[in-house]
Amino acid sequence: MSEREELSFEHRLLLRQLELKDYKEVKEIMEIVYSSIDGAWTRKEFSNLLKKFPEGQICIEDNGKVVAAALSIIVDYDEYGDKHTYEQIIDKGSFKTHDPEGDTLYGIDVFVHPDYRNLRLGRRLYDARKEICEKLNLRGIIAGGRIPGYKDYANKLTPAKYIEMVRNKELSDPVLSFQLSNDFHVRRILKGYLPDDKDSRAYATLLEWINVYYEEQEKNKLIGGKKTVVRIGIVQWQMRAIKDIDDFMQQVEFFVDTVSSYKSDIVMFPEFFNAPLMALSNEDTPSEAIRSMAEYTEEIRERMIHLALSYNINIIAGSMPEYYDNKLYNVSYLCRRDGTYDSQYKLHVTPDESHYWGMRGGHKLKIFDTDIGKIGILICYDVEFPELARMLSDMDMKILFVPFWTDTKNAYLRVRLCAQARAIENECYVAITGSVGNLPKVENMDIQYSQSAVFSPSDFAFPHDAVVAEATPNTEMTLIADLDLDLLKDLNTAGSVRNLKDRRRDLYNLSWVMRKDE
């Protein structure tokens, strides 16, 4: 065989939009595929569909010949609901049901020439449909799916049992098995969807694929919408001697100014970053010194709110001691750039914090709504308790911020390794930052160890080591990192593993038990 003859057997596949001139080849395929139902559409019906929604009609050609196609329209799904028929959707081939302002892509048909079914062309068409759905910002794809394999089991199984066995891979159906493998799920069973479909016994599955990138449209929302790429800044803070609170705030403002100049959306300081203020007190014991430092907390918070407004950046003010009702707490303040603020108390107190300072744990876990999405804050030791991050994840947290203070490397590694685990378990980003340097006159906080970092889940779309950025150990510096929130959506639905979706809720659950006196 000559080289030219060999080339004639090679495939040349092209994915493109259908045109009216393709009708003859489309009809040929439909006559073969749907010989047991109604065969092909008329030329007028095909033309109607192209006029209504040309972008939704796609095909794959091989060496210039159409060998597979997918047809769809846009509908306002609330008008039809879950109980409808195929005829209602296509409106007798007029497709007047197509609504450019609708919210759902409705899959009218997918067919592949039998000679090409070993090339996985159906998967290519489904992927192209999903791309259309995402680009048009539609909620998802709905389709009525035949179950032709049911004809062999109709006398033994109900449609529901048959579908369950196909889902569990105990049986295989030429249509349903393919659809399930393409991330569609069965929403319900339709009776009488295609009355002439004898193989399916007139039953069909109502299938749904959810577009995780869908964004609810807000009228006239030209500015101020939620970001999909967030720039964060974290400060690895040098502990140093200070003269007074103004000297301390001058250092704080320097870093806020610096991180803001890089157009960051948020900046985080470490746990007890205001510890140098303890050296200003004349108290004899650590417990008295930290209570003296707590007197500055309210002023620092107010000045942080002012900085957030002035520099147009959200600020996580590390953590600071707060003393009221004769009780000492460790609290982190979120100072938003719109002038509002909120707080998260440290829930778990370390043995040293209890022994030296008499510190207590808080009682509430919060999720924070911000202009960069939903975030959580866990102070140091709290990140070592996986239940907290999982509860925040169930509240749709996308980024977890962990201000910490550790004195030695082994203490630091407890925080770091647990933070990395939280990122993987909860399919979120986790940022950690601590302090470096020494404070000779501050008992129980005299040495520091830190290597600030930003962690991601571990999958192909993220850095190979699941570390977005990390600082030089024990050196004062800042980290700036861009976090793509859309990658988290994709991970949740199509990741190599899906920690959140694959939980065995039939075996266990997680609940918050609030103290009765709170």
Distance from C-alpha of 503 to C-alpha of 413, rounded to nearest angstrom:
27
- Strand 320-324 relative to strand 266-268, pairing: unpaired
Q: Which candidate in 25, 271, 322, 384 is catalytic? A: 271
The answer to whether 346 is a known catalytic residue is yes
DSSP, collapsed to helix, strand or coil, labels residue 120 as: coil
Q: Which two tokens stand for residue 226?
A: 């939620």
What residues does 229 pair with on adjacent strands? 484
Catalytic residue among 346, 353, 384, 418: 346
In 312-374, which residue ranges form alpha helices assigned H by DSSP? 351-352
User: From the candidates 59, 133, 380, 418, which is the catalytic residue?
Assistant: 380
Q: Are 389 and 427 in contact (CB under 8 A)?
A: no
- Beta-carbon contacts of 289 under 8 Å, excluding residues fewer than 6 positions away, are 278, 281, 283, 442, 443
Written in H, E and C, the secondary structure of 66-110 is EEEEEEEEEECHHHCCCCCCHHHHHCCCCCCCCCCCCCEEEEEEE
Distance CA 71, CA 132 (A): 12
399 closest CA partner among 236, 230, 224: 230
Rounded Cα–Cα distance for residues 402 and 52 (Å): 52
Q: Is 464 exposed, middle or buried (0-12, 13-18, 19+ CB in 10 A)?
A: exposed
Which stretches of 178-243 are assigned E, i.e. beta strand? 185-191, 203-210, 229-239
Beta bridge partner(s), residue 321: 330
Backbone angles phi, psi at 139, to 5 degrees: -60, -35
Q: In whole angstroms, give the CA distance from residue 452 to residue 470.
A: 6
Q: Cα separation of 312 and 340, whole Å? A: 12
| CA dist., res. 457 & res. 464, Å (int) | 10
The C-alpha atoms of residue 36 and residue 64 are separated, in whole angstroms, by 28
Give catalytic residues, as residue numbers: 271, 346, 380
